[in-house]
Amino acid sequence: MSTTSSRIADLRKSYERAELSEDASHPDPLRQFDQWLTEAIAAEVPEPNAMTLATVASDLRPSTRVVLVKGYDERGIVWYTNYDSRKGRELAGNPFAALQFHWVELERVVRIEGRVEKTSPEESDAYFASRPLDSRIGAWASPQSEVIASRSVLVANAAKYGAQFLLQPPRPPHWGGYRLVPDQWQFWQGRKSRLHDRLRYTAQGGAWLRERLAP
């Protein structure tokens, strides 16, 4: 065993920043999420909008990657990406996914599960138009998840599409938004002695069942 591996087993942290109780939490998980994300932004947590997205392929092999949340409301959690990417292909075959936010500095984790659907073309168009020009060109230049010979392929593609579209690149047909419609949320707050707070919200008709889980 390497020295680093042996040291990992000895790492310890005492979680003592906050608590999460049934009385202090919102009955609606979206409001609880909004409160925690707002607090993460106010605390200047690095990339508070970064979330891990987990999908499962048709061969049942899972994969994860980090994406950025770009919107959320009562309809669900939204991000944007290349539909032809690995995650896009996996969602086409299995439209269920899981999201996780980890705000280390606040000792908090939010997990969200549900069915994923594409956003409307109008929503995707509006967000694409709001992106910086180089990001819009990049959506055309990168054949996401495909093998390429070198970085020069991306540079050449960017130059090609930049010259073709100038200042007005349209949204690529292979690029747009996804929305995860939650049917389960979990909120985890680190506590002392590993007796963490963990609340689960499960969709039941038009309401949410809130339960405490053992950590």
Closest among 199, 197, 177 to 73, alpha carbons compared: 177
Q: Is 52 helix (H, G, I), strand (E, B) or coil?
A: strand
Q: Is 20 helix (H, G, I), strand (E, B) or coil?
A: coil
Phi, psi angles (nearest 5°) of residue 153: -65, -45
Place of tokens 């061969």: 59
Place of tokens 């009955």: 27
Alpha carbon distance 38, 42 (integer Å): 6
Residues forming the active site: 194
Phi, psi angles (nearest 5°) of residue 75: -80, -25
